[in-house]
Chains A and B, each alone.
Chain A
């Protein structure tokens, strides 16, 4: 089996629309939460989201791409341009030996919702490009078209674990030799009025800001964005002298088979164990956990319990943070943004802070990184994604040393 390394990174997030800016804000512990515009006071129980301001798609994409895409796919296109350009993968690998595997949960809501609202209120016609713009797989298609990539290409949708499942699948495709390289990650632009209202009804959105694992946490902060990685075999990366940002060594999945919203510890526990097993690593080797850490009471309780089960007496020695405290919960893109954060942490020896948290809830038993980012040189790190409906995915990353 091939060893799989990451040789290209790209992102469009609330804390940076390129990897350099994302990195700076990530390690500085700066959040990207902004007031939600155009909503009447009191209409929502919350006032802020991790929305991306000043994303100028028109300056980065062709007018033909603009016409065919909506915001979610535009995030995918722009982040992919960054990652593919950085990796120079298509100068080295034939496009039929490259895969595109993205995660996307909400689809093209920013196009669909206004069109449907108009239809249901004032009637009339629906634009013929609506279907291509709405498709959740549109981002995958448009990226494949732009770069002429003709290998396996598909979109995975598993709610908040979509991108982690996608990266895991891409990892398996490259490891097994099905393809030589993969462009993978997640993209999401769900922040429409209808989406805000739907989440408001679930009463899991913070009225202040997402403070994962804090005793006074009061929910998540909704977000949007994309992060894209280029994966290839270690052999190919070394042969062409590519910069290696880290190695993916394991992937574990499970289903709670229990409840459509309420997480259960057994599922996340199994997914973490399978990721380590897949990596051939012992729990003691893990030196950082990028938690799913949504900031809801239930998720953080269940996740902490699962971590305690997997890491047992070692739990208190493993630094944990949730970077959602900075980039928000970007739904189907979250796992990719967190994979990016985990790769940067391993590469630079800086573990991101759980911004906004003063003190972790002691009963959870975790070594939560609070206050500021921590200097440490872990060899192995994991990134958790536990979706609504009990669909769990965990990736294991290793610091790459030549």
Chain B
């Protein structure tokens, strides 16, 4: 079973497999290559994802999931798998923030 991470306000939690699929689609669209050429193990170097592509992709996932990828984390994202992990972490951080806020409001 998929590991469930984070919160999506409209559809509830997002399975990690779905994040992977969406990240692969975003990378393929950004580089204008078929999705089949992108795997979780693809490195940004071999896909020719340059620094401008990286900031554009981080914008894409931030907009898509309503998350923030910190600068410090962005620099460590070097593969598609890193990207998926980065999104999952950011979703967890977002969920935690929401939980704390709600707990605070409840108190």
Interface residue? B4 (CB, 8 A): no
Establish whether residues B32 and A64, one from each chain, have CB atoms under 8 Å apart when the complex forms: yes
Chain A contacts for B32, CB-based, 8 A: 63-64
Q: How far is the CB of A17 from chain B (nearest CB, A)?
A: 25
Q: How far is the CB of B43 from chain A (nearest CB, A)?
A: 21
Complex interface residues of chain A between 23 and 71 (CB less than 8 A to chain B): 63-64
Chain A contacts for B58, CB-based, 8 A: 128
Q: Which of A63, A64, A128 contacts B59 (CB 8 A)?
A: A128
Interface residue? A127 (CB, 8 A): yes
Number of A-B contacts (CB under 8 A): 15
Q: What would be 15 A-B contacts, judged by CB atoms less than 8 Å apart?
A: A63-B32, A64-B32, A125-B59, A125-B62, A125-B63, A127-B56, A127-B59, A128-B52, A128-B55, A128-B56, A128-B58, A128-B59, A129-B52, A129-B56, A132-B52
Please name the residue on chain A nearest to B57 by beta carbon. A128
Q: A128-B52, A128-B59 are in contact. List 13 more A-B contacts (CB 8 A).
A: A63-B32, A64-B32, A125-B59, A125-B62, A125-B63, A127-B56, A127-B59, A128-B55, A128-B56, A128-B58, A129-B52, A129-B56, A132-B52
Tell me the complex Cα distance, A343–B74, Å. Answer: 53
Please name the residue on chain B nearest to A126 by beta carbon. B59
Tell me the complex Cα distance, A132–B52, Å. Answer: 10
Listed from nearest, the 6 A-B pairs whose CB atoms lie closest are A128-B55, A128-B56, A128-B59, A63-B32, A127-B59, A129-B56
Chain B contacts for A127, CB-based, 8 A: 56, 59
Chain B interface secondary structure, helix, strand, loop or mixed?
A: helix
Chain A contacts for B52, CB-based, 8 A: 128-129, 132
Q: How far is the CB of A324 from chain B (nearest CB, A)?
A: 38
Please name the residue on chain B nearest to A124 by beta carbon. B63
Please name the residue on chain A nearest to B59 by beta carbon. A128
Chain A contacts for B63, CB-based, 8 A: 125
Chain B contacts for A132, CB-based, 8 A: 52
Complex interface residues of chain B between 20 and 40 (CB less than 8 A to chain A): 32
Report how many residues on chain A are interfacial, defined by Cβ distance under 8 Å: 7
Chain A interface secondary structure, helix, strand, loop or mixed?
A: loop
Q: How far is the CB of B67 from chain A (nearest CB, A)?
A: 11
Q: How far is the CB of A134 from chain B (nearest CB, A)?
A: 14
| Residues of chain B having any CB pair with chain A under 8 Å | 32, 52, 55-56, 58-59, 62-63
Q: How far is the CB of B70 from chain A (nearest CB, A)?
A: 14
Tell me the complex Cα distance, A176–B63, Å. Answer: 52
Tell me the complex Cα distance, A129–B58, Å. Answer: 12
Q: How far is the CB of A126 from chain B (nearest CB, A)?
A: 9
Complex interface residues of chain A between 64 and 82 (CB less than 8 A to chain B): 64
Chain B contacts for A129, CB-based, 8 A: 52, 56
Tell me the complex Cα distance, A64–B32, Å. Answer: 8
Complex interface residues of chain A between 175 and 229 (CB less than 8 A to chain B): none
Chain A contacts for B62, CB-based, 8 A: 125
Tell me the complex Cα distance, A132–B55, Å. Answer: 13
Greatest chain B CB density within 10 A among A63, A127, A128, A129 is at: A128
Q: How far is the CB of B37 from chain A (nearest CB, A)?
A: 16
Tell me the complex Cα distance, A129–B30, Å. Answer: 12
Chain B contacts for A128, CB-based, 8 A: 52, 55-56, 58-59
Tell me the complex Cα distance, A132–B51, Å. Answer: 13
Tell me the complex Cα distance, A129–B57, Å. Answer: 11
Please name the residue on chain B nearest to A127 by beta carbon. B59
Tell me the complex Cα distance, A150–B59, Å. Answer: 32
Tell me the complex Cα distance, A51–B60, Å. Answer: 32
Tell me the complex Cα distance, A127–B32, Å. Answer: 18
Please name the residue on chain A nearest to B55 by beta carbon. A128
Tell me the complex Cα distance, A125–B69, Å. Answer: 12
Complex interface residues of chain A between 236 and 284 (CB less than 8 A to chain B): none
Chain A contacts for B56, CB-based, 8 A: 127-129
Encoded as 1 (CB less than 8 Å from any B CB) or 0, chain A from 124 to 165 comes to 010111001000000000000000000000000000000000
Q: How far is the CB of A58 from chain B (nearest CB, A)?
A: 13
Tell me the complex Cα distance, A63–B55, Å. Answer: 18
Q: How far is the CB of A61 from chain B (nearest CB, A)?
A: 13
Chain B contacts for A125, CB-based, 8 A: 59, 62-63
Complex interface residues of chain A between 312 and 340 (CB less than 8 A to chain B): none
Q: How far is the CB of B87 from chain A (nearest CB, A)?
A: 15
Please name the residue on chain A nearest to B62 by beta carbon. A125
Tell me the complex Cα distance, A61–B12, Å. Answer: 40
Q: How far is the CB of B51 from chain A (nearest CB, A)?
A: 10
Q: How far is the CB of A367 from chain B (nearest CB, A)?
A: 54
Tell me the complex Cα distance, A132–B63, Å. Answer: 20
